Chain A
Amino acid sequence: ETGVTQSPTHLIKTRGQQVTLRCSSQSGHNTVSWYQQALGQGPQFIFQYYREEENGRGNFPPRFSGLQFPNYSSELNVNALELDDSALYLCASSSEGWATDTQYFGPGTRLTVL
């Protein structure tokens, strides 16, 4: 196993609500990336945190926001939920913030928006 954990495992929300997802990175890793994976698609990059700062962002609106804590765990917050936000949300940890390092994924949080 990778040592990357996520909570909760499953979540059901209604449109307009807000949600917070959590990720604990693998020991020794200082970078966390978040991805959204819709059914039948590959993961889409949301953003990355490196040493508590946002290191880059994909094509997601500002209602997707995040945090990284001193212990390198991370949160993904989504406001004003829409039906299309229903997906598997994956976090991945790595040991540095740059291109060449391998990412290790957590088991994901499956979010359903009704």
Chain B
Amino acid sequence: RKEVEQDPGPFNVPEGATVAFNCTYSNSASQSFFWYRQDCRKEPKLLMSVYSSGNEDGRFTAQLNRASQYISLLIRDSKLSDSATYLCVVKTGGFKTIFGAGTRLFVKA
């Protein structure tokens, strides 16, 4: 079993749709959680950190469920510019950072 698992997609949605991504992790000692966005042939860029209380940044909402060991990302009112690969990232104590393989999103006009 992979340490961090994501649905690879692709998710094909129309503009204005709401789309949700899930990510599961295997190490219950994991401490920090993030969502990164990666455009084709570019570097990953931080989208948002994920907190147990949940957090929202505009159209993006992230949730963490420690008991079930999963993280989610919800995108409301999808824009064409949201098309990208979304990477789930989990950090355990110290240096260890594990990336999921990513979920591809295509938003269509």
Contact = CB atoms under 8 A, between A and B. Distances in A.
A96 B107 CA distance: 37
Contacts of B96: 45, 56, 58, 99
Interface stretch (A13-21, A65-73, A74-82, A100-108): A100-108
A100 B32 contact: yes
Contacts, number: 63
Contacts of A41: 101-102
Given A105-B45, A107-B42, A107-B43, A100 B95 contact: no
Nearest to A98: B94
Interface string B20-35: 0000000000011010
A56 B32 CA distance: 17
A105 B34 contact: no
B93 A99 contact: yes
Contacts of A88: 41
A7 B67 CA distance: 42
* From B43, B45, B49, residue with most partner A Cβ within 10 Å: B43
Interface in A41-76: 41-45, 48, 50, 55-56, 58
- The 7 A-B residue pairs with the shortest CB-CB distance, nearest first, are A56-B95, A42-B99, A105-B43, A48-B95, A99-B91, A42-B101, A99-B31
Given A98-B93, A100-B31, 15 more contacts: A2-B45, A41-B101, A42-B101, A42-B102, A45-B96, A45-B99, A90-B43, A98-B94, A99-B31, A99-B92, A99-B93, A99-B95, A99-B96, A102-B49, A108-B43
10 contacts: A40-B101, A45-B98, A55-B94, A88-B41, A98-B94, A99-B31, A99-B95, A100-B31, A105-B44, A108-B43
